[in-house]
């Protein structure tokens, strides 16, 4: 009888420890998120299940082209790509991204831009001055984010979102784990 009691106690202990570890990992290290909508296509798809690294931005600042998750509202988190960093000027003209006046390639969009018909734009022209608040540069401790599906994305160009403060960041998207045929680690593109 004692042996059976010890066995049950060991199982109970193991389950409690597993639950505590799962709580710690979920709360402080990684969190799941599901991509909702087409704003990050073609790179992320509606329904993709992802893991978000919640520690990365506690010890590092966001980098250009990171894919980040942030609190857009109290009820909703968004997933977008970092385009502008604090202190930078950003504008898009004729489908070319300019940061501090220098053109930057966006390799994650090249395939989509190639299939456009003559005269079509993948991203409508815009500049920081056109955003609410008449900013000349991205404010300190803030980032400018855009969806990869530029003409179907609620992002920093929207009055509701604007610049994203570091305090709003949940973390950096690290991998797609479902569906299995889309399993992949998410990398920010190199400048």
CATH number at residue 39: 2.10.109.10
Q: Which domain holds residue 175?
A: 32-185
Residue 18 lies in a domain: no
pLDDT at 23: 67
pLDDT at 15: 77
- What percentage of the chain exceeds 90 in pLDDT? 27
Is it the case that residue 189 has pLDDT exceeding 60? no
Domains: count for the chain: 1
- Whole-number Å distance between alpha carbons of 32 and 39: 18
Residue 116 lies in a domain: yes
- What percentage of the chain exceeds 70 in pLDDT? 87
Q: Which of 191, 179, 167 is nearest to 81 (CA)?
A: 191
Residue 47 lies in a domain: yes
Residue 191 lies in a domain: no
The SS3 assignment for 44 reads: coil
**Residue range 1-11: mean pLDDT, rounded:** 71
- Whole-number Å distance between alpha carbons of 52 and 27: 11
Determine the Cα angle at 77 with ends 72 and 80, to 5°: 80
- Whole-number Å distance between alpha carbons of 143 and 145: 6
The SS3 assignment for 108 reads: helix
Residue 129 lies in a domain: yes
Contact yes or no for 136/61 (Cβ under 8 A): no
pLDDT at 42: 85
Is it the case that residue 148 has pLDDT exceeding 80? yes
Is it the case that residue 174 has pLDDT exceeding 90? no
Contact yes or no for 189/65 (Cβ under 8 A): yes
Average pLDDT along the chain: 83
Catalytic residue list: 39, 80
Residue 24 lies in a domain: no
Tell how strand 90-93 and strand 169-178 pair up: unpaired
pLDDT at 156: 84
Entry pTM: 0.80
Residue 12 lies in a domain: no
pLDDT at 18: 73
pLDDT at 87: 94
Q: Which of 157, 105, 161 is nearest to 131 (CA)?
A: 157
For residue range 31-59, list pLDDT tens digits in order.
888 888 888 888 888 989 988 988 888 88
Residue 8 lies in a domain: no
pLDDT at 65: 93
């Amino acid at each position: 009888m004692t042996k059976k009691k010890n066995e049950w106690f060991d199982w109970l202990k193991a389950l409690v420890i597993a639950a505590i570890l799962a709580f710690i990992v979920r709360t402080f290290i990684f969190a799941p998120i599901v991509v909702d909508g087409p704003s990050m296509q073609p790179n992320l798809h509606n329904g993709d299940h992802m893991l978000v690294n919640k520690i990365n931005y506690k010890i590092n600042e966001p980098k250009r082209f990171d894919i980040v998750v942030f609190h857009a509202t109290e009820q909703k988190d968004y997933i977008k790509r970092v385009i502008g960093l604090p202190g930078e000027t950003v504008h898009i003209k004729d489908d070319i991204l300019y940061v501090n006046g220098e053109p930057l390639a966006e390799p994650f969009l090249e395939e989509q831009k190639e299939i456009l018909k003559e005269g079509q734009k993948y991203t409508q022209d815009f500049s920081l001055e056109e955003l609410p608040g008449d900013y000349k540069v991205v404010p300190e401790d803030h980032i400018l984010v855009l969806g990869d599906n530029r003409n179907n994305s609620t992002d920093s160009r929207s009055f509701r979102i604007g610049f994203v403060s570091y305090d709003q960041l949940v973390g950096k998207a690290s991998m797609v784990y479902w569906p299995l045929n889309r399993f992949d680690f998410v990398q920010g593109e190199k400048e």
